[in-house]
Amino acid sequence: MKKTKIYFLLVLFGLMLNACKYDFIVPEELPPIDTTVPVSFSTQIVPIFTSGCVSCHKTGGQAPDLSAANAYSSIKTMNLVNSTTPETSIIYAFPGSSSHSWKGYTASEAQLVLTWIKQGALNN
């Protein structure tokens, strides 16, 4: 009798755990962007830095300095872009990695940054 009780409790517990299972990361369906349209560094990439990164990556703060005035030169001098294999560019891959315990890009921001790199990482 005791054994059945324990077994019953285990099953109940298992069901409870299962009920808590929840997919937090809702896969975001991104419409493909037209990669022939140039992504502008100043009007599309800098605002991403300003809203999500500059709180830490400001002038005199955590490197790289991603403030509007210095973002481009920081990216260049710190070698954060890899034009041969854009996906491995630090400015693209590092923020969302587990080594960066801070806010990364949203899926659409990441898509813009990668496209900008693939287009030659221009200061446009």
Site of interaction with ligand HEC (CB under 6 A): 52-53, 55-57, 62-64, 80, 90-91, 94-95, 99-105
Q: Which is nearer to ligand HEC, 7 or 102 (CB)?
A: 102
Work out how close the CB of 94 gets to ligand HEC at its nearest, in angstroms, rounded to a whole number: 4
Q: Which is nearer to ligand HEC, 12 or 83 (CB)?
A: 83
CB of 64 to ligand HEC, least distance (A): 6
Please, which residue, 4 or 98, has the CB nearer to ligand HEC? 98
Render the chain in DSSP notation, one character per residue.
-HHHHHHHHHHHHHHHHHHH----SPPP-PPPP-TTSPPPIIIIIHHHHHHHTTTTSSTTSSSS--STTTHHHHHHHTT---SSSGGG-HHHHSTTSTT--S----HHHHHHHHHHHHTT----
Of 41, 52, 119, the residue nearest 86 (C-alpha): 119
The least distance separating ligand HEC from the CB of residue 75, rounded to whole angstroms, comes to 8
Q: C-beta of 71: minimal distance to ligand HEC in Å? A: 9
Of 41 and 94, the one with the shorter C-beta distance to ligand HEC is 94
Contact 96, 110 (CB under 8 A): yes
